[in-house]
Chain A
């Protein structure tokens, strides 16, 4: 009980600080989201190739038929 009442303003300050930090970070994040961007074209293409492959397995080079040795 006493602990709570003594740390009340401290808690409020901590919460306020936390809120401030969150606000600041959100500003920073928003700014950076607007001002920065990243894209990896070749990675996208590789992802695509990988996704395509399992769909069409039949198009792999057909293995030659086994030969029969007479």
Chain B
């Protein structure tokens, strides 16, 4: 009967929302992108080796108890038995007690519902009602609110957990990190874990056993090693504090991303931050709505409405309405709840005491509000307990480069290697956290996934247990993120002879694969490329190295002189500069491959690719730097922001409100596009629409004339999102 009623009474709304209902979700690209993001978020690989599975019986002797499995940040699994009608708070308390964590306000328990939407466990509601998918309930202990000022975290243990969470985020790619920052962070991690760098005991190869970045290369590891030596004398606690202080300046630090669709159907993302809501188009920032300026944040079914006021030059206030669409109503509600909680945590001093209004029975709409302590309360609680000890877990280790290299030389024949490589492709696919299969598998079997096997037994374990990284792949795909590995070609400053050879060999193999379309190949090159193709999805750098070593060994066997022997490579490397200068004109095209004869082709192609990559990467880097500078949250108001943030948490109310408002005023430049765009925006049927242009919502310093175009583009995008009617 209820279904009948629902159908009859909501038929009209159903028809309107049919195009966007959740049944369609699986086929659409936005949903898949969201799922990929969620895979990263939820099923992220653990950074440290966890302890044993812990069992907490908290249900007394009752027979009908529910079991919750919580995966902690350090990788350990905690099984908690609770009474049937326990609330989220009970589970949370058990976990806090087990961890001995006092500053629990920053953390939360997350679970996935059957539609692959992540939810935070509500402390006030019963667990059974929230997690509808049957027991055992799988939850993930994560940082819910990334503290805007990590120095305000009282306890070292809290900071340690934050470091673990951030390391996980960086590894999964959720937190994008430029090259030098990730090098420094890796060095801090090593300093914290292994202490001072002792060249007698620790070598660069040791660094390769760790995973710090999804695009880890040997060059990066060497840099990390050097940086690590610089941090001599730092204690683990100090290293972690520095780690957090470095991380907090990253653009995407603490940004809670949710993927949405705009009114124009394009893919956007909303990021929740302590200062406001960021709007991303694809992966570039196009707007920031400050919390004080957002007057309404509503959701209805799967549409989220944002009403923002802006002051234009004349001091008038104008309202702008933005509507975003999500792939399901659950996701929409989740985003709305996250936004509500985020705002309350970061912006309010105490959670709102929801006065039960007279229309409590007949109210429409969720009553959800943030329950818990806000950041202000958390940092001003004042209760600091005597120093408590905790154990830092060792990081997860993977086979180092030398080991996989050594293992590969023994079965030296090429076809054997390709056979060895192909089974590695399968585990790689599992190594990317695939939430779908994982989720379907979870409720049956054990949840410690075989993906994260600790490869302590180094006997015959093939390298693909390792986390996906590939110098070959990085050189191919890292133009946008990591320019250093490409520019690493120009650096020949390796001290370790083994690395030099490896690096050079890697380069020769990677470059031709990426850039060269070689029509006529020798047999070796053919096989090499073919094996590279096979290993295309296999990201471990070591199989590539295996091939290279093989090539070197096979060289005396065949008379086809591909210059892959180390001696020839050395010589070629020395002549890098000269070759590049001669071929810089012809090197601009990517596909430029075979110039010259066979013997020359190899070095020339790599040179071409090198120069072409250098040429191509330079303008893209410049453009990106320009965009980043313009779009960057940190650069233009970098100095203002920490003061404001510090002011929020430590200063008095008057000071706080004035500094906040001054910050708001400061960072909203009243720049508007020329009014010629106004006629495009006029809609005849909307009384709400003001024909003035969309205000410039971004706090960017004005730059050169080229920034005008970019601003126009951004405003066009914002205008496209602007909704005048629901």
Asked if chains A and B come from one complex, the reply is yes
- 1/0 contact trace for B334-371 toward A, CB 8 Å? 00110110011001111010000000011111111000
Q: Which of A2-10, A11-19, A33-41 contacts B (4 or more CB under 8 A)?
A: A33-41
List B contacts of A24 (CB < 8 A).
Answer: 5, 9
Contact partner, B295, options A33, A37, A43, Cβ 8 Å: A43
Contact partner, B368, options A32, A37, A52, Cβ 8 Å: A37
Q: Report yes or no: A34 in contact with B349, Cβ–Cβ below 8 A.
A: no
Q: Report yes or no: B348 in contact with A38, Cβ–Cβ below 8 A.
A: no
Min CB distance B14 to A, Å, is: 12
Q: Report yes or no: A27 in contact with B301, Cβ–Cβ below 8 A.
A: no
Using CB atoms, name the residue of chain B closest to A60: B654
State the majority secondary structure of interface residues on B.
mixed
Q: Report yes or no: A38 in contact with B365, Cβ–Cβ below 8 A.
A: yes
Q: A34-B333, A45-B291, A52-B349 are in contact. Are A39 and B654 (CB under 8 A)?
A: no
Q: How far is the CA of A48 from the CA of B347 in the complex (A)?
A: 10
Min CB distance B12 to A, Å, is: 13
Q: How far is the CA of A23 from the CA of B152 in the complex (A)?
A: 51
Q: Report yes or no: B352 in contact with A49, Cβ–Cβ below 8 A.
A: no
Q: What class of interface size applies to chain A in its complex with B?
A: 20 to 34
Q: Report yes or no: A36 in contact with B653, Cβ–Cβ below 8 A.
A: no
Min CB distance A22 to B, Å, is: 11
Q: Report yes or no: B6 in contact with A36, Cβ–Cβ below 8 A.
A: no
Q: How far is the CA of A34 from the CA of B334 in the complex (A)?
A: 11
Q: Report yes or no: B347 in contact with A39, Cβ–Cβ below 8 A.
A: no
- 1/0 contact trace for B644-680 toward A, CB 8 Å? 0000000011100100000000000000000000000
5 pairs from A and B in contact (CB 8 Å cutoff)? A33-B364, A38-B297, A44-B348, A52-B349, A59-B654
State the majority secondary structure of interface residues on A.
helix
- 1/0 contact trace for A56-70 toward B, CB 8 Å? 100110000000000
List A contacts of B5 (CB < 8 A).
Answer: 24, 27
Q: Report yes or no: A48 in contact with B365, Cβ–Cβ below 8 A.
A: no
Contact partner, B365, options A33, A42, A45, Cβ 8 Å: A33
Q: Report yes or no: A35 in contact with B297, Cβ–Cβ below 8 A.
A: no
Q: Report yes or no: B292 in contact with A39, Cβ–Cβ below 8 A.
A: no
Q: How far is the CA of A30 from the CA of B336 in the complex (A)?
A: 18
Contact partner, A37, options B2, B291, B333, Cβ 8 Å: B333
Q: Report yes or no: A59 in contact with B364, Cβ–Cβ below 8 A.
A: no
Q: How far is the CA of A47 from the CA of B653 in the complex (A)?
A: 13
Q: 6 other contacts beyond A36-B299, A45-B347, A56-B652, with CB at 8 A cut-off?
A: A31-B6, A32-B364, A41-B291, A42-B291, A44-B352, A49-B657
Q: A24-B5, A28-B9, A49-B657 are in contact. Are A39 and B298 (CB under 8 A)?
A: yes
- Which residues of B106-158 have CB atoms within 8 Å of chain A's CB atoms? none
Among B343, B348, B352, B364, chain A packs the most CB atoms within 10 A around the CB of B364
Q: Report yes or no: B297 in contact with A39, Cβ–Cβ below 8 A.
A: yes
Q: How far is the CA of A33 from the CA of B360 in the complex (A)?
A: 11
Q: Report yes or no: A40 in contact with B365, Cβ–Cβ below 8 A.
A: no
Q: How far is the CA of A46 from the CA of B468 in the complex (A)?
A: 49
Min CB distance A60 to B, Å, is: 7
Contact partner, B366, options A33, A49, A53, A59, Cβ 8 Å: A33
Q: How far is the CA of A48 from the CA of B10 in the complex (A)?
A: 38
Q: How far is the CA of A5 from the CA of B292 in the complex (A)?
A: 64
List A contacts of B347 (CB < 8 A).
Answer: 41, 44-45
B232 on the A face (CB < 8 A): no
Q: A44-B348, A59-B653 are in contact. Are A39 and B336 (CB under 8 A)?
A: yes
